[in-house]
Amino acid sequence: MLGSQRRYVITFGCPDRTGIIARISSFLAEAGGWIVEAAYHTDPDTGWFFTRQEVRADSLPFEVDELRARFAGVARSLGSDTDWQVDDTGERSRVVLLVSREGHCLYDLLGRVASGELDIELPAVIGNHPALGDITRAHGIPFHHVPFPRGDAEGGAAAFRRIRELVDEHDPHAVVLARFMRILPPELCTAWAGRALNIHHSFLPSFVGARPYHQAHARGVKLVGATCHYVTADLDAGPIIEQDVIRVGHGDSVSDMVRKGRDIEKVTLARGLRWHLERRVLVHGNRTVVF
Amino acid sequence: MLGSQRRYVITFGCPDRTGIIARISSFLAEAGGWIVEAAYHTDPDTGWFFTRQEVRADSLPFEVDELRARFAGVARSLGSDTDWQVDDTGERSRVVLLVSREGHCLYDLLGRVASGELDIELPAVIGNHPALGDITRAHGIPFHHVPFPRGDAEGGAAAFRRIRELVDEHDPHAVVLARFMRILPPELCTAWAGRALNIHHSFLPSFVGARPYHQAHARGVKLVGATCHYVTADLDAGPIIEQDVIRVGHGDSVSDMVRKGRDIEKVTLARGLRWHLERRVLVHGNRTVVF
Amino acid sequence: MLGSQRRYVITFGCPDRTGIIARISSFLAEAGGWIVEAAYHTDPDTGWFFTRQEVRADSLPFEVDELRARFAGVARSLGSDTDWQVDDTGERSRVVLLVSREGHCLYDLLGRVASGELDIELPAVIGNHPALGDITRAHGIPFHHVPFPRGDAEGGAAAFRRIRELVDEHDPHAVVLARFMRILPPELCTAWAGRALNIHHSFLPSFVGARPYHQAHARGVKLVGATCHYVTADLDAGPIIEQDVIRVGHGDSVSDMVRKGRDIEKVTLARGLRWHLERRVLVHGNRTVVF
Amino acid sequence: MLGSQRRYVITFGCPDRTGIIARISSFLAEAGGWIVEAAYHTDPDTGWFFTRQEVRADSLPFEVDELRARFAGVARSLGSDTDWQVDDTGERSRVVLLVSREGHCLYDLLGRVASGELDIELPAVIGNHPALGDITRAHGIPFHHVPFPRGDAEGGAAAFRRIRELVDEHDPHAVVLARFMRILPPELCTAWAGRALNIHHSFLPSFVGARPYHQAHARGVKLVGATCHYVTADLDAGPIIEQDVIRVGHGDSVSDMVRKGRDIEKVTLARGLRWHLERRVLVHGNRTVVF
């Protein structure tokens, strides 16, 4: 995804103070690390410091596990035992998609994977409806139909248990709700915290919940939008990764808005997913830093 | 505003049926009217038909009053006694601005008027604060300072009565709340219904009310917006004329958002005002048709 | 494509004068025609008048051939024997795609067709390279590989003759060069005039010809774009239907620009194609009116 | 301009290699420097490394001259004797504007200065036409009218010598051609290299030179744009700082394009100027890095 050149991606956060950049960059320099991309940010409200560094793997004389072991010491010395991660772009990201009947986001992601633009593994697509099974299988990807019996809460809970099994089996880097029309139960929000991404078909916080294009039409807005965000137990209220909008007018019916909105949903989700997988998104409270 | 060529602008609404366009255009054709611009729309939800027609004044053998008298018959025959208007672009639009301390919308409008882009009369600018008096007077426009005594409801009511006098004296085509930080009392919303325009510094319906940029920052949105809408008694809930957005990121503080947002507020207000004065905006329920 | 309700679409152009709208709308009204959408434009430079009207098919007491026969008289009376067309949305549009190796536009269009968003027939996809055959066939659409022998002008001419046969067999409403990397020979530009659409991966007229993203990167532009236009014998100089742009920065390599640009190419082509098929695009000289 | 907190801004470029960030950040850390903002970029084509660092002035135990003296050693050790600069935000930027008759960019900048958004000194506005003198003086800024005798090359050269005197007297951080309709002679391009900014009213490289909106209208583009760039001896071909676009349609005449384009010109110039003055723009060949 980051091109063919293998890299290690360090993401790190700690309370801001003098000398953090010096500490991290000196550590890397001493090991011969070639920094390909570096980004920094301090949140003035909370005084929290964030950084993301991409280092050429072949510039370091050791492997990723050794980098992790050594960086742990650096992090500890900066007062941050746990708020860091070292990723290896040599490991391909695994993504599981949850879908329903609306196929535009699925089609779009399948196309990006097939064309090589998105260099990920798609070990499973799970649908609460069989409609998107054929196109998924035509791309050589296993499709699992997990029906939700109508009006049967117990059956719904069982369906989510089945989905959890199917997802967790692959330990994915991202679980993408690609216009999956069900609300994740709290235990799944917790289990997949920080790696469950949703695409909501409005410019949040406007038009939370069901039928946002109908809400937008009724309010007479002049732009409709889409929001890619992390899923939390609060409906449509998780940290926002990316948003975009498209212009609509009085001549656009709800179904025109739906159609125009789809183009925004697709690209917003694709961008959000890419950034997530490239470890560009650092969550801080209910906001994100996107490097 | 529509160029130097004088035109009559007909706006009209009625229940949709067959033959409306034929009726109106035949009426104009028989009088020799040269239609320079024509737009139509039917709202499928309510079955209401809307049109706006610009006719060259010099193509008609009579004056605007005669056009009004004759068009009244056409309108009546189409079942619409009152939902129409005939405007003469030969009459310059009068606009009164209400401002407070934030000057960017005022500066912008003054610049557009001074450069001739916006060919209107500005007979008065009214501020609840004296800050913007100098620049207003430097443009040769009377500035009225109407203070609102802090925490004095009675004094506030008196101030609004004074504002109403100052405004109504000019019978303006538009009363623009150009970042006027007070909520209009219901009686003024009623008195100026359909000609009081507000610029709200968020992408409505997100972030209604006070300090929308603070709200936007707290929610971590990736775009901030502005909304030009008609003022109604429901705060920030009137019919939307125009909206626009600009991208922000994690590096933007609230004050960066305020700064970036200003550029969107200015152009959104200027566009909305222009369309209103050109009679391009037809209100229907809580939505607008913008021709 | 225009929804399930069958409609007749009239497009018409003539020298501007008084009474055209009255003439056309009276003709329709007398026949009981229910106009669902109507748009007008006059080009002030050339004095040419354009209109597009959508009429409910079930509102007329006759069929499309009779409408054509009768409208011919209206057109003649307005001095326009040939510059008009009556289309029946009951007839599904046929589109043939020409592709090469880059699949993003193909994937996108296939997804739109499969999801029902674009209600068209795709009787054939033709590639000068076999790469996109599998995905095309997975959608149940015939794929024809027509190789162009490298450095063999005679072979190239033969390949284009073969392509022409494959295309003309279906008499398509649109021939779409969906990132087809060959320049159409003049005789095909002529044969398919007004229905061959190309997507060029730049904001024309900037960066005509080969490798536009490389040109854009070298020039250091801050936005890259895409242009959907009609193909003419002048390379990348035909009438523009639609354009869009996306922001790039100093951190974007050429391949990043290519990736970001793809999202713009896809939606620009899809919009342009939809408008063309809905007869919203009227060509006048080297410019378009898009209703 | 960077807020009330005084900062030192270091900009620096050198051939890329391992350890640059470590070297610079360690230097700052050892002196106690609190880095408020840091950005890095390496151009993969040329292997050139760029950085910009903002340091809180009150975090360093010495003044800006001492910082310069010490940083010179760091720069030298990294193989870059001259490609660096240390600025003090405590020194207000001086900007001289060159204008002609079109006032929208001038009005806009005056408004930003008056409202405090742009915290700069405007010691002079120079016009080749007297039209914008009044508004300039109303803001308390000296206006110099330097006429260019029509068709008199010698007179033109003299006028430019006079302009140069008027500008150089203030040794400004930026000379802004705010819709100044004259081409700077090569000697002024050289004298003001890297600090003369122009706003061109097209999306460069499209429509170089005179009357770009007329060119855009003739070509039938669907978006018009504006470009803020450094002035070089090559007309409209200098390094691009910022660009933006706005949608236009078949209904827009050239004068509508001019009007819509103005809003884009204003904000594009204002953004480019701000970034320039904040030292966010690093020029490399004919491209810019904008941090």
Tens-place pLDDT, residues C42-57: 998 899 999 999 999 9
* Range B107-119 average pLDDT: 95
User: Which of C107, C117, C270 lies closest to A115 in CB terms?
Assistant: C107
- D245 touching C (Cβ < 8 Å): yes
Tens-place pLDDT, residues D195-218: 999 999 999 999 999 999 999 999
Give the total residue count for chain B: 291
The answer to whether the CB atoms of D290 and C250 lie below 8 A apart is yes
Tens-place pLDDT, residues C74-99: 999 999 988 999 999 999 999 999 99
| Residue bearing the bigger pLDDT, C220 or B152 | C220
* Range D186-190 average pLDDT: 97
Q: With beta carbons under 8 A apart, name residues in chain D contacting C264.
A: none
- B110 touching D (Cβ < 8 Å): yes
Q: Give the phi and the psi of residue D50 in degrees, each rounded to 5.
A: -130, 145
Tens-place pLDDT, residues C172-194: 999 999 999 899 999 999 999 99
Q: With beta carbons under 8 A apart, name residues in chain C contacting D208.
A: none
The Cα–Cα gap between A132 and B291 comes to: 40
Q: With beta carbons under 8 A apart, name residues in chain A contacting C135.
A: 114, 138
* Range D116-136 average pLDDT: 96
The Cα–Cα gap between C36 and C291 comes to: 14
Residue-level pLDDT at D1 = 44
The Cα–Cα gap between B255 and A150 comes to: 49
Tell me if C283 sits within 8 A of C276, measured CB to CB.
Answer: no
Q: Which of B14, B40, B54, B56 to mutate to test the interface with C (most CBs of C within 10 A)?
A: B40
Q: Which of B203, B280, B288, B290 to mutate to test the interface with A (most CBs of A within 10 A)?
A: B203
In 3D, which of C152, C32, C154, C146 has the Cα closest to residue C97? C146
* Range B246-264 average pLDDT: 97
* Range A178-191 average pLDDT: 95
The answer to whether the CB atoms of D18 and A34 lie below 8 A apart is yes
The answer to whether the CB atoms of B221 and A204 lie below 8 A apart is yes
**Distance in Å, alpha carbon of B237 to nearest chain D alpha carbon:** 27
* Range C256-260 average pLDDT: 97
Tens-place pLDDT, residues D157-186: 999 999 999 999 999 999 999 999 899 999
Residue of A nearest to D21 (CA): A25
Task: Using DSSP, state whether C124 is helix, strand or coil.
Answer: strand
Contacting subunits of A (3+ beta carbon pairs below 8 A): B, C, D
Q: Give the phi and the psi of residue C11 in degrees, each rounded to 5.
A: -120, 140
Average pLDDT, chain C: 95
Query: What are the catalytic residues of C?
Result: 236
Tell me if D126 sits within 8 A of D136, measured CB to CB.
Answer: no
Average pLDDT, chain D: 95
- B59 touching A (Cβ < 8 Å): no
**Residues contacting residue B182 through CB under 8 Å, at least 6 positions apart:** B98, B100, B128, B148, B156
User: Which of A102, A114, A255 lies closest to C135 in CB terms?
Assistant: A114
User: Which of C205, C207, C250 lies closest to D219 in CB terms?
Assistant: C205
Average pLDDT, chain A: 95
Tens-place pLDDT, residues D62-89: 999 999 999 999 999 999 988 999 999 9
Tens-place pLDDT, residues C12-46: 999 999 999 999 999 999 999 999 999 999 998 89
Record the tokens describing residue B29, joined without a space.
């054709």
Residue-level pLDDT at C125 = 98
User: Which of C111, C139, C263 lies closest to A267 in CB terms?
Assistant: C263
Residue-level pLDDT at C1 = 44
Record the tokens describing residue D258, joined without a space.
């001019």
User: Which of B18, B23, B38 lies closest to C40 in CB terms?
Assistant: B38
pLDDT at B3 over 60: no
CA distance readout (Å), D249 to C43, C188, D214, D257: 12, 29, 14, 9
The answer to whether the CB atoms of B203 and A219 lie below 8 A apart is no
- D4 touching B (Cβ < 8 Å): no
Residue window 23-42, chain B: list those with CB within 8 Å of chain D.
37
User: Which of D102, D107, D112 lies closest to B114 in CB terms?
Assistant: D107
Q: Which of B25, B28, B222 to mutate to test the interface with C (most CBs of C within 10 A)?
A: B25
The answer to whether the CB atoms of B111 and D107 lie below 8 A apart is yes
Residue-level pLDDT at B1 = 44
Classify burial at C118, counting beta carbons within 10 Å of its beta carbon; exposed 0-12, middle 13-18, buried 19 or more.
Answer: buried
Instruction: Considering the candidates B83, B87, B108, B236, report the single residue annotated as catalytic.
Output: B236
pLDDT at B137 over 90: yes
| Domains with residue ranges and CATH for chain B | 7-88 (3.30.70.260), 94-290 (3.40.50.170)
The answer to whether the CB atoms of A25 and D26 lie below 8 A apart is yes
- A275 touching C (Cβ < 8 Å): no
**Distance in Å, alpha carbon of D263 to nearest chain C alpha carbon:** 18
pLDDT at B71 over 90: yes
pLDDT at A68 over 50: yes
Q: Residues A12, A16, A21, A26: what is their CA dihedral angle, to the nearest 10 degrees?
A: -80
Q: With beta carbons under 8 A apart, name residues in chain A contacting D15.
A: none
- A236 touching B (Cβ < 8 Å): no
**Residues contacting residue D158 through CB under 8 Å, at least 6 positions apart:** none
* Range D6-32 average pLDDT: 95
**Distance in Å, alpha carbon of D29 to nearest chain A alpha carbon:** 5
How many helices, marked H, and strands, marked E, lie in chain A?
A: 8, 13
Side-chain half-sphere CA neighbours of C165 within 13 A: 7
Tens-place pLDDT, residues A199-231: 999 999 999 999 999 999 999 999 999 999 999
Residue-level pLDDT at D81 = 87
Residue-level pLDDT at C4 = 67
**Distance in Å, alpha carbon of D196 to nearest chain C alpha carbon:** 18
* Range B266-272 average pLDDT: 98
User: Which of A18, A29, A33 lies closest to D29 in CB terms?
Assistant: A18
**Distance in Å, alpha carbon of A158 to nearest chain B alpha carbon:** 34
Residue of C nearest to D216 (CA): C205
pLDDT at D257 over 90: yes
Tens-place pLDDT, residues D23-47: 999 999 999 999 999 999 999 889 9
pLDDT at D123 over 70: yes
The answer to whether the CB atoms of B219 and A206 lie below 8 A apart is no
This model of the complex carries an ipTM of: 0.94
Give the single-character DSSP code of D192: T
Residue-level pLDDT at B181 = 87
Task: Specify the amino acid at residue D121.
Answer: E
* Range B59-73 average pLDDT: 97
Provide the percentage of residues in chain D whose pLDDT is more than 90: 95
CA distance readout (Å), A175 to A135, A230, A273, B79, C219: 19, 10, 10, 57, 40
**Distance in Å, alpha carbon of B246 to nearest chain A alpha carbon:** 10
Instruction: Considering the candidates D236, D244, D252, D256, report the single residue annotated as catalytic.
Output: D236
The answer to whether the CB atoms of A114 and C107 lie below 8 A apart is yes
Is B236 considered catalytic here? Answer: yes
- B193 touching C (Cβ < 8 Å): no
pLDDT at C2 over 50: no
Q: Which of B139, B260, B267, B291 to mutate to test the interface with D (most CBs of D within 10 A)?
A: B267
Q: Which of A129, A267, A278 to mutate to test the interface with C (most CBs of C within 10 A)?
A: A267
DSSP structure string for chain B: ---SS-EEEEEEEEE--TTHHHHHHHHHHHTT--EEEEEEEEETTTTEEEEEEEEEGGGSSS-HHHHHHHHHHHHHHTT-SSSEEEEETTSPPEEEEEE-S--HHHHHHHHHHHTTSS--EEEEEEESSGGGHHHHHHTT--EEE----TT-HHHHHHHHHHHHHHHHTT--SEEEESS--SPPPHHHHHHTTTTEEEEESS-TTTT-SS-HHHHHHHHT-SEEEEEEEE--SSTT-SPEEEEEEEE--TT--HHHHHHHHHHHHHHHHHHHHHHHHTT-EEEETTEEEE-
The Cα–Cα gap between B178 and B101 comes to: 10
| DSSP H or E stretch at residue A134 | helix A133-138
pLDDT at B47 over 50: yes
